[in-house]
């Protein structure tokens, strides 16, 4: 591991807005009250990377709490540091494997979940790793409130088509769907937030896919 990554790992361990691994279990069912010190809705961003979406959502919606989840601490470092420097206190980061999400959140605890530009895991052998695999969807449904909302933004046409297929197989309600977000009438202040990877894809004229759905039938 390079010196810069080691430095970020060491620094992120000192950040008050970052919770790592098993330490997150003590907040299960109490993220709003115990971690944020309020009773506002809690929104997750899965595979948050550098945390751009998490931080910018927190800026737009001070009446909600936001938690970015990723396993790579050197990536989380960027978003967490920005939030601390700018005094954004309705944002936190949790460093865990998303497979363990049920160990950290209680049933009906979460209001919204964003999945932004995850690894599409295109190999058949890695289907179980796709963040919209039925097993993952079951976990999200458990921790979401009854009227909770799911969002997916991705440049991967393969992953988008796979995800929409899973949503349709489960006969879930889709509110919004497009295969070219920035040339659609769906784009707004929220969907215009761009991650590091999204900017790279847009620079080569790659269209962005988006779908919003709920588990409530």
Torsion of CA 155, 161, 162, 164, to 10 degrees: 110
Distance CA 42, CA 90 (A): 9
Catalytic residue among 4, 119, 168, 180: 119
Please enumerate in sequence order all residues whose Cβ is within 8 A of that of 106, keeping only pairs 6 or more positions apart, or say none. Answer: 28, 29, 143
Pairing label, strands 144-154, 65-70: unpaired
Check if 119 is active-site: yes
Characterize 152-178 residue by residue with b for buried, 16 or more Cβ atoms within 10 angstroms of its Cβ, and e for exposed: bbbbbeebbebbbebbeeeebeeeebb
Radius of gyration of the chain measured on its C-alpha atoms? 17
Query: Which residues are designated catalytic?
Result: 119
């Amino acid at each position: 591991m390079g010196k810069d990554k080691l430095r970020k790992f060491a620094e992120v361990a000192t950040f008050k807005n970052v919770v790592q691994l098993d330490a997150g279990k003590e907040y299960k069912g109490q993220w709003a009250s115990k971690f944020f010190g309020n009773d506002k809705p809690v929104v997750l961003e899965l595979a948050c990377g550098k945390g751009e979406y998490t931080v910018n959502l927190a800026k737009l919606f001070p009446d909600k709490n936001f938690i970015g989840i990723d396993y790579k601490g050197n990536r989380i470092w960027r978003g967490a540091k920005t939030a601390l420097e700018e005094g954004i206190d309705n944002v936190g980061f949790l460093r865990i494997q998303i497979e363990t999400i049920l160990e950290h959140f209680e049933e009906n605890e979460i209001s919204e979940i964003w999945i932004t530009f995850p690894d599409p895991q295109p190999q058949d052998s890695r289907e179980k790793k796709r963040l919209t695999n039925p097993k993952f969807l079951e976990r999200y449904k458990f921790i979401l409130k009854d009227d909770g909302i799911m969002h997916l933004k991705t440049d991967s046409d393969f992953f988008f088509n796979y995800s929409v297929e899973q949503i349709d197989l489960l006969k879930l309600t889709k509110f919004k769907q497009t295969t070219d977000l920035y040339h659609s009438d769906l784009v707004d202040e929220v969907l215009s937030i761009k991650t590091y990877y999204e900017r790279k894809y847009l620079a080569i004229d790659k269209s962005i896919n988006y779908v919003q759905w709920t588990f409530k039938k």
